[in-house]
Structure 1
Amino acid sequence: MAPAPLIEFQEISRIYGEGEATIRALASIDLVIEEKEFVAIMGPSGSGKSTAMNIIGCLDVPTSGHYLFQGIDTTGFDRSQYTLLRRHMLGFVFQGFNLLARTSAVENVELPLIYRGVDPRERRRKAMYALGQVGLAGREGHTTQELSGGQQQRVAIARAIVTNPAVLLADEPTGNLDTKTSREIMDLITQLNHENGITVIMVTHEDDIAAYAKRNLRFVDGHIQSDSLLAPERADVL
Structure 2
Amino acid sequence: MIELKNITRIYSTGGAEVRALDGIDMTIENGEFVAVMGSSGSGKSTTMNILGCLDAPSSGSYLFEGLEVTSLSRSQKARLRRRYLGFVFQGFNLLSRTTALENVELPLVYRGLGKKERRNMAYAALDKVGLADRAMHTTTEMSGGQQQRVAIARAIVCNPFLLLADEPTGNLDSARSNEIMQLLTSLQAEHGITVVMVTHEPEMALWASRTIEFRDGKIIKEGH
TM-score computed with the length of structure 1 as normaliser: 0.92
User: What is the CA deviation profile of residues 93-120 of structure 1, one whole-angstrom value per residue up to 9, with x for unaligned ones?
Assistant: 0000000111110000001111111111
Q: Distance in 2 between matches of 1:19 and 1:65?
A: 25
1:172 aligns with one of 167, 187, 198:
167
SS at match of 1:177: coil
Q: CA deviation at 1:18?
A: 5.8
Q: Which runs of 5+ in 2 are unaligned?
A: none
Q: Distance in 2 between matches of 1:44 and 1:31?
A: 19
Q: Distance in 2 between matches of 1:86 and 1:223?
A: 25
2:118 aligns with one of 123, 127, 134:
123
Q: Which residue of 2 aligns with 1:91?
A: 86
Q: Which residue of 2 aligns with 1:46?
A: 41
Q: Distance in 2 between matches of 1:225 and 1:20?
A: 28
Q: Which amino acid aligns with 1:227?
A: E
1:146 aligns with one of 128, 141, 146:
141
Q: CA deviation at 1:19?
A: 7.6
Q: CA deviation at 1:186?
A: 0.4
Q: Distance in 2 between matches of 1:24 and 1:136?
A: 43
Are 2:201 and 1:209 equivalent residues in the alignment? no
Q: Which runs of 5+ in 1 are unaligned?
A: 1-5, 230-238
Are 2:130 and 1:135 equivalent residues in the alignment? yes
* Number of residue-to-residue matches in the alignment: 224
Q: Which residue of 2 aligns with 1:218?
A: 213
Q: Which residue of 2 aligns with 1:58?
A: 53
Q: CA deviation at 1:73?
A: 0.5
User: What is the CA deviation profile of residues 18-71 of structure 1, one whole-angstrom value per residue up to 9, with x for unaligned ones?
Assistant: 685211000011111110000000001100000000000001000001111001
Aligned-residue RMSD, C-alpha: 0.9
Q: Distance in 1 between matches of 2:38 and 2:153?
A: 28
Q: Which residue of 2 aligns with 1:232?
A: none
SS at match of 1:138: helix
Q: CA deviation at 1:76?
A: 2.4
User: What is the CA deviation profile of residues 143-196 of structure 1, one whole-angstrom value per residue up to 9, with x for unaligned ones?
Assistant: 111111000000000000010000000000000000000000100000000000
Q: Which amino acid aligns with 1:203?
A: V
TM-score computed with the length of structure 2 as normaliser: 0.98
Q: Which residue of 2 aligns with 1:181?
A: 176
User: What is the CA deviation profile of residues 122-159 of structure 1, one whole-angstrom value per residue up to 9, with x for unaligned ones?
Assistant: 11001011101101121101111111100000000000
SS at match of 1:75: helix
Are 2:6 and 1:11 equivalent residues in the alignment? yes
Equivalences for 1:59-74 in 2 at 5 Å? 59-74=54-69
2:106 aligns with one of 96, 111, 123:
111
Q: Distance in 2 between matches of 1:177 and 1:156?
A: 14
SS at match of 2:122: helix
Are 2:161 and 1:157 equivalent residues in the alignment? no
